[in-house]
Amino acid sequence: MFNNDQKYIELSKIPRYLQIKYELQKFLAENSWSFEQAIPSEQELASTYDASIGTVRKAVECLVEEGVLIKHQGKGTFLKHPAFVESSIVRFYLRNAKEGKPEMPIGEIKCVKSVKANPRINQLLGEPVENELIYLERVRSADSKVIVSDKIWLSPEKFAPLSELKPEQFENLLYPFYFKLCGQLVVSAKEQMTILLNHCDTYLTDGQEKAVIKVCRAAKGLDGSIIEYRESYGLAEDFYYETIIT
Amino acid sequence: MFNNDQKYIELSKIPRYLQIKYELQKFLAENSWSFEQAIPSEQELASTYDASIGTVRKAVECLVEEGVLIKHQGKGTFLKHPAFVESSIVRFYLRNAKEGKPEMPIGEIKCVKSVKANPRINQLLGEPVENELIYLERVRSADSKVIVSDKIWLSPEKFAPLSELKPEQFENLLYPFYFKLCGQLVVSAKEQMTILLNHCDTYLTDGQEKAVIKVCRAAKGLDGSIIEYRESYGLAEDFYYETIIT
DNA sequence: CAGTGGTCTAGACCACAGC
DNA sequence: CTGTGGTCTAGACCACTGG
């Protein structure tokens, strides 16, 4: 009925460069594009999408700003390795790191299991409310001291390969591991920080109550949906965070 | 016209659009441009700087991204009112705000004086290390409860008019007041957050030691130099912060 | 050298605001 | 209606990369 017509009109109102952006995003998600191979050049994209270079450049520019792509003059445009280090919770230890060589902390999985549905988290992950989720517990340590304690929830479908693994079979960095085993790439995340003055965590606080910072993180995949939900805890005394405001 | 040509040849290493961006920034700073009057249109700018519209648009786009300008289709491009509310320290109370009407807290100056030089702060503000600085103490309250306590340092030259004032002559919001009295516009700021578990503040903690969050803020003016340094304190239990990571 | 992205031009038409 | 910014084109040349 009218719906179709209306939809068509609505769609044609979306700028061409945004349409191309979405197409490109879909293309990259569906092909599990590698980090090493350049995506088609701007000339190629212009001809395949039948648009001028300027328009394609604008589409690509959007994805660069979102942190999905990165350009190298003379070489090409590539999928960007997400900046894993930039997590706010992981900045804790960077402040106190030895001069010159900030050492990456070691990530260790403590527990992998399937847990009952949690309405709020299921909804975030786009899962039916009755579905069970994959649940990980993990600690990050430096100099054999626990710095960050993570609780992680994942969709059972997208991350099915993980549920078969034992804790020791995981790797140090989780996001590249997700990508390798499950083809899921984290491109951005939203974090909420709060402070808990008396919190007790098995791994972080030695069973005592301490002041901690809690970071709730919702990580998005290439298609924009939330693919991982994580709650991280660090000691308040180690906290340091920097930001720019405009 | 000759000037432009010559300049372009001399500075040919810097892209034209960046040159125009700096020229524009200088122009806005020197003319104390108002928020209500649109800056010259893209056509005008293109002809005054003898560049194409596309190039001028790119220059303007830079300043929009930096939060200096804002565009309104059909109306023009304007100096942007800085988003004062977006300060991370001021987000505390927004979380607990009554539904529908997050009330702005009331800002009240407690003290205005000239203080001895502090090497670190003098350097940040670009002042000779022996110069005295203007120093303000201020609290922000909601429901007659102190939410944030600020210590503020300013250059004596740029903010000379303030040193003559009594506390009660200040206004609720400082940044618009700076602009009105001293022609100084804050366009961006860099903040560093840490947690102090046992901190005592005259206004915030009733003389007791409490867990607080400390935010050090360096605020930049139109020309990119730091024009205000501020240390803000808020109760840790009220802290809430959101951010996007890419 | 060829191919990539980076910059720039000189137009065109559209969408929106305000008179 | 005019003037603004928003989108788009079809080229040009430059700067950088790697074979």
Q: DSSP string of B51-76? A: --HHHHHHHHHHHHHTTSEEEETTTE
pLDDT tens-digit profile of A71-130?
Answer: 999 999 999 877 654 555 555 544 544 344 455 678 899 999 999 989 999 999 999 999
Instruction: Give the one of B87, B197, B240 whose C-beta lies nearest to A236's C-beta.
Output: B197
- Check residue B200 and give its pLDDT: 96
Residues (pLDDT < 70) of chain B are 1-12, 83-104, 246
The pLDDT assigned to A4 comes to: 35
Contacts of A104 (CB under 8 A, 6+ apart): A85, A172
Chain A contact for B96, CB < 8 A? no
CB of B213 less than 8 A from some CB of A: yes
Least confident segment among A172-176, A201-205, B73-77, B102-106: B102-106
CB < 8 Å to B242, chain A: 190-193
Which pLDDT score is estimated for A167? 97
Structure confidence at residue A117 (pLDDT): 86
Strands B240-245 and A226-235: unpaired
Rounded to the nearest integer, the mean pLDDT of chain B is 84
Q: What is the pTM of this model?
A: 0.78
In Å, how far is B211's CA from the nearest CA of chain A?
Answer: 8
The protein residue nearest D18 (Cα–C1') is A75
DSSP string, chain A: -HHHHHHHHHHHHS-HHHHHHHHHHHHHHHTT--SSSPPPPHHHHHHHTT--HHHHHHHHHHHHHTTSEEEETTTEEEEPPP-GGG-GGGHHHHHHSPTT--PPPEEEEEEEEEE---HHHHHHTT--TT--EEEEEEEEEETTEEEEEEEEEE-TTTTGGGGG--GGGS-S-HHHHHHHHH-----EEEEEEEEEEEE--TTTSTTS-EEEEEEEEEEE-TTSSEEEEEEEEEEGGG-EEEEEE-
User: Can you tell me whether residue B129 is helix, strand or coil?
Assistant: coil
Helix (H, G, I), strand (E, B) or coil at B221: strand
Contact B236 A197 (CB under 8 A): yes
| Residue whose CA lies closest to nucleotide C5 C1' | A73
Write phi, then psi, for A72 (nearest 5 degrees): -130, 115
Residue A215 Cα, gap to closest chain B Cα (Å): 9
pLDDT in tens, B36-81: 899 999 999 999 999 999 999 999 999 998 888 999 999 999 998 7
Q: Give the per-residue pLDDT at A32.
A: 75
- Say whether the CB atom of B54 is under 7 angstroms from strand C: yes
CB-based contacts of B51: which residues, under 8 Å, 6+ apart?
B16, B17, B20
CA–C1' gap, A45 and C14, in angstroms: 24
Yes or no, beta carbons of A246 and B66 under 8 Å apart:
yes
Confirm or reject contact between A82 and chain B (CB < 8 A): yes
Of chain A residues 43-72, which have a CB less than 8 A from chain B?
66-67
Angle of the B2-10 helix axis to the B16-30 helix axis, nearest 10: 120
- Nearest chain A Cα distance for residue B3, angstroms: 30
Q: What is the mean pLDDT of residues A31-55?
A: 90
A191 touches chain B (CB under 8 A): yes
Q: Which residues of A touch B193 (CB under 8 A)?
A: 239-243
Distance B13 CA to D15 C1' (A): 11
B82 touches chain A (CB under 8 A): yes
How confident is the model at residue A94, as a pLDDT? 47
Q: What is the mean pLDDT of chain A?
A: 84
In this predicted structure, the answer to whether residue A65 has a pLDDT above a threshold of 80 is yes
